[in-house]
Amino acid sequence: QCVLTGEWINDLGSTMTIGAVNGDGDFSGTYHTAVTSTSNKIQPSPLHGSQHLTNQKRQPTFGFTVNWTFSDSVTVFTGQCFVDENGKEILKTMWLLRSFVDKIQDDWKAT
């Protein structure tokens, strides 16, 4: 069974720590990105999410939001936790980042 709780590292060296998943499927933790487009100092940022518990699948779907502490942006992630043929847990996700812009005419370049 795939368990989200714990520490995860991606191919780019970013780390994520997820605390216990409660009975409703909610969880929180921190995300420390290794990459950014800002010149600000990278800092760990809070994340809050939810795991799909209704069907109690062994490889659950989930989603979470990261509110970046060092920039005016937010990223949402959605994905699924898999267990490969060797028993290794792997998270496969997609993400969408929204940056702050000053005016609606710049909306096109904010996501």
Dist CA 80 CA 97 (whole Å) = 19
Edge-to-edge strand order for the sheet containing 61-67? 6-9, 15-18, 26-32, 45-51, 61-67, 73-83, 89-99
Domain map of the chain by residue range?
6-109
Check residue 55 and give its pLDDT.
63
Local confidence pLDDT in tens for the 111 residues of the chain: 888 999 999 999 999 999 999 999 999 999 998 877 777 788 899 999 999 876 666 889 999 999 999 899 999 999 999 999 999 999 999 999 999 999 999 999 999
Check residue 39 and give its pLDDT.
77
CATH superfamily for domain 6-109? Avidin-like (2.40.128.30)
Check residue 91 and give its pLDDT.
94
Check residue 81 and give its pLDDT.
92
